[in-house]
Amino acid sequence: MNIEQYKLNEYNQSALKDHQRKFDFIAADIKSIEAILQKLINFQVAIPSWALGTGGTRFARFAGGGEPRSLEEKIEDIGLLHALNKSSGAISLHIPWDIPENAAHIKTLAAQHGLKFDAMNSNTFQDQPGQQHSYKFGSMQHVNKAIRKQAVEHNIEVIKYGVELGSKSLTVWLSDGSCFPGQLNFRKAFQNTLESLQEVYAALPGDWKIFVEYKAFEPNFYSTTVGDWGQSFLYANKLGNKAYTLVDLGHHLPNANIEQIVALLLMEGKLGGFHFNDSKYGDDDLTVGSIKPYQLFLIFNELVEGMDAKGMNHATGLGWMIDASHNVKDPLEDLLQSVEAIMITYAQALLVDRNKLNEAQNNNDVVTAQEILQQAFRTDVRALVAEARLRSGGALNPLAVYRSEKVRDNLIKERGSKTVATGL
């Protein structure tokens, strides 16, 4: 389903007066308003192809209807999000959940919606129909070389799909690990994984990157072979300069200081990208900013500071992706909320007075340092984000337009109420 530009303009027109009042209010207080707006306009977050259907838990899945039945329909859904918010101009595919059978056609369709292909994701954490060897006891870490080879070959196949689509990176998340003490020789598992990753690395095109995603636990509950940023960083360093660490916000042990991890990875030039989501307990994959918005702000604060220090482009320097999905919301509404939370937090981080913060840190003025951060965090920047969207041709209020246009009802009419999108 499409929302025509003239319709968006009509909605924007009716909301304009109210928006202008709020925008003028905040704009009056910001010196570099145009530069900040431009950064917001440029910033794009990739939508994962696996988040467009209702997620589930291992207990149940309550499909909402109108879910995309094919990769084409997933691209249409992301195109719709992008038309509304102008910040979702990329898609991240998971293979084999979303195999582009006809890559040229898929690439053209995506381009028609203004979408690029962000990182490709491989999958060696599930057995696929017809697969020769099982990943029950791991993939790249496996004691059996034939199974490691199968995992390597799958990743190389994913790179090939990505090349056809114009993607420039591969994200490898391995569920490999062990469930009980004694099950695994840690060092052998690490070495096997390293060798396998090296074979994948050797197949990377010159202008590609590989992101090594870590996760503390689940599905393995005793050890995970790429379990934290230290292990991922070790792999990234051993692999070479095309290898980076990917931070998924839900993949840490409780209370981990993610902003510090981000700062150090950036400093070392090894931060590759993000899977944004939020969590209360573990890898909950909840809507970005729904549980710990201040933590997200502190992470963005480090990103802005670290990227500026390295002269990196905020819009293209890292792979920005969402990795969230769950059981109880319309997935498209959820994604609109996630992207909005990211944009708001980024805008807040751009407001931090870095010179003053630096001065406060040098004077050990703890109180002022905290005041500076919280001043930015407590600023209502929603009108700034809306203004950036307006200038890009998006909707002042994407969620309201989505609801007024009854998008989900229309999708159900078009696709049926019993559709099931591929994914977990």
Is 70 exposed, middle or buried (CB count within 10 Å of its CB: 0-12, 13-18, 19+)? Answer: middle
Beta strands in 218-351 (DSSP E): 223-224, 243-248, 271-276, 319-322
Between 141 and 224, name the residue whose CB sits nearer to Mn ion: 224
Which of the choices ligand PSV, Mn ion, none does residue 118 contact, using the CB cut-off of 5 to 8 A by kind?
none
Q: Give me the amino acid identity at 55.
A: G
**Contact between 146 and 192 (Cβ < 8 Å):** no
- Closest distance to Mn ion from the beta carbon of 18 (Å): 37
Between 16 and 63, name the residue whose CB sits nearer to ligand PSV: 63
- Closest distance to ligand PSV from the beta carbon of 372 (Å): 33
Between 94 and 314, name the residue whose CB sits nearer to ligand PSV: 94
Both tokens of 103, joined, read: 């890559």
Between 25 and 221, name the residue whose CB sits nearer to ligand PSV: 221
Which of the choices ligand PSV, Mn ion, none does residue 314 contact, using the CB cut-off of 5 to 8 A by kind?
none
Between 173 and 297, name the residue whose CB sits nearer to Mn ion: 173
- Closest distance to Mn ion from the beta carbon of 345 (Å): 19
Give me the half-sphere count of Cα atoms (radius 13 Å) on the Cβ side of residue 386: 23
Task: Give one DSSP letter per residue of 129-168, joined into a string.
Answer: TT-SS--TT-STT-SSHHHHHHHHHHHHHHHHHHHHHT--
Q: Give me the amino acid identity at 92.
A: S
Which of the choices ligand PSV, Mn ion, none does residue 405 contact, using the CB cut-off of 5 to 8 A by kind?
none
- CA dist list (Å): 48 to 56, 98, 169, 281, 420: 16, 10, 14, 22, 16
Between 323 and 405, name the residue whose CB sits nearer to ligand PSV: 323
Is 202 exposed, middle or buried (CB count within 10 Å of its CB: 0-12, 13-18, 19+)? Answer: exposed
SS3 42: helix
Residues binding Mn ion (CB under 5 A):
248, 275, 283, 323
Which of the choices Mn ion, ligand PSV, none does residue 424 contact, using the CB cut-off of 5 to 8 A by kind?
ligand PSV
Residues binding ligand PSV (CB under 6 A):
50, 121, 173, 213, 215, 248, 275, 283, 323, 424
Characterize the bridge pairing of strands 209-213 and 177-178. unpaired
- Closest distance to ligand PSV from the beta carbon of 336 (Å): 20
- Closest distance to ligand PSV from the beta carbon of 395 (Å): 28
- Closest distance to ligand PSV from the beta carbon of 165 (Å): 17
Between 74 and 275, name the residue whose CB sits nearer to ligand PSV: 275
Q: Which residues pair with 273 in a beta bridge?
A: 246, 319
- Closest distance to ligand PSV from the beta carbon of 87 (Å): 21
**Distance from chain centroid for Cα 65:** 24
**Contact between 192 and 148 (Cβ < 8 Å):** yes
Between 218 and 409, name the residue whose CB sits nearer to Mn ion: 218
CA angle 297, 301, 305 (to 5 degrees): 170
Element (H, E) at 414: helix 407-415
- Closest distance to ligand PSV from the beta carbon of 218 (Å): 7
Which of the choices ligand PSV, Mn ion, none does residue 121 contact, using the CB cut-off of 5 to 8 A by kind?
ligand PSV
Q: Please, which residues have CB within 8 angstroms of residue 147's CB and are 6 or more apart in sequence?
A: 133, 134, 135, 138, 139
**Distance from chain centroid for Cα 317:** 14
Which of the choices ligand PSV, Mn ion, none does residue 291 contact, using the CB cut-off of 5 to 8 A by kind?
none
- Closest distance to Mn ion from the beta carbon of 33 (Å): 34
What is the number of the residue whose Cβ is closest to ligand PSV? 173
Which of the choices Mn ion, ligand PSV, none does residue 50 contact, using the CB cut-off of 5 to 8 A by kind?
ligand PSV
Whole-angstrom distance, CA of residue 408 vs CA of residue 414: 10
Between 412 and 424, name the residue whose CB sits nearer to Mn ion: 424
